[in-house]
Amino acid sequence: MVMSWSPTHCVTAEEGRDDEQCARTDGLRYGFVLHGLWPQYEKGYPEACPIGKKPFVPNEVINGMKDIMPSRGLVIHEYKLHGTCSGLDPVQYYDLSRRLFRSVRIPERFNNPFETQYLSPRDVEEEFMRANTWLRPD
């Protein structure tokens, strides 16, 4: 599972292209978001696996992920590139993605961030490990 820090992405956002993520109209801002769930080999990961038909992610699935994935395009892209290699259909893939994302407790300072924060990668790692005692640095 890959999470990303939305405020950093929004620093270089393209107007119009990234509005769903970076110019929300509901008074909230994304903090850590689910970037995707990638099947993993021992070395590397598969991409864009042939499934015999064009991958399709239903609108209900896309709309159901908007609280943790910042854009329609990202939801579709991640299933086409990685979900097709999981052996799961879009509903199963995103149900699993949500369960895994929700299993990680995001430290409070990273929720709905409006102030600039300066932290080293190690500081972020340590905050996540304090909030999730089962996490390890590796």
Active site residues: 35, 78, 82
Token pair, residue 5, equals 């820090």
Rounded CA gap, 31 and 68, in Å? Answer: 9
Rounded CA gap, 74 and 114, in Å? Answer: 23
- Element containing residue 7 per DSSP (H, E): helix 6-11
Residues with Cβ < 8 Å from 41, sequence gap 6 or more?
A: none
